[in-house]
Amino acid sequence: MEVSKEQNSGYTCLHLDGRLDLNSSSQLKDQIKGLLSEGVVNFIIDLNGVDFINSSGLGTLVSILKDVRMVKGRMVLCNLAQYVHEIFEITQLSHIFDIYPTEKQAAETFSGSAVNVG
């Protein structure tokens, strides 16, 4: 899985590309941990390029969400493919994640947020 980072005012957007499963999830988790240690606390996770996610990938996102909340940050998801969104509905994870159709809509929710330190 490819992860590209885009620093913006008030949030950092991570664009994911590929499959989010046990093979790739540690890569994402390590990257977020690194950013958290640099003081970055607000994230948009852009899943536009993720065409497959399994329970390991879901578990990783839940774990990251907990880590972000621990430091009083925010993490939102956007651009979920239809089947990926369906998995979030079935597992009821759509109840604990803020999910937006587009990155623009997700970004608007950060207006007025504390700017990332990192």
Partner 1 sequence: MTERISVRVPSDIKYSDLVHSISRQICFNMNFCDRDIHFVLLSVSEGFTNAVVHGNCSEPGREVVITYEIAQGILSIAIEDEGVLPIEENTGHAREMPRTEDESGRGVSLIRQFADEFTLVNVPKRGNILTMIFSVNNKSREAAEVHGEA
Q: Contact positions toward partner 1, by CB under 8 A?
A: 19, 21-23, 52, 54-56, 58-60, 62-63, 66, 83, 86-87, 90-93, 95-96
Taking the C-alpha atoms of residue 41 and residue 79, their distance in angstroms, rounded to an integer, is 20
Taking the C-alpha atoms of residue 116 and residue 52, their distance in angstroms, rounded to an integer, is 30
Q: Toward partner 1, which CB reaches closer, 8 or 54?
A: 54
Residues 6 or more apart whose Cβ sits within 8 Å of residue 93: 58, 61, 62, 87
Shortest distance (Å) from residue 86 CB to partner 1? 7
Shortest distance (Å) from residue 111 CB to partner 1? 27
Q: Toward partner 1, which CB reaches closer, 10 or 18?
A: 18
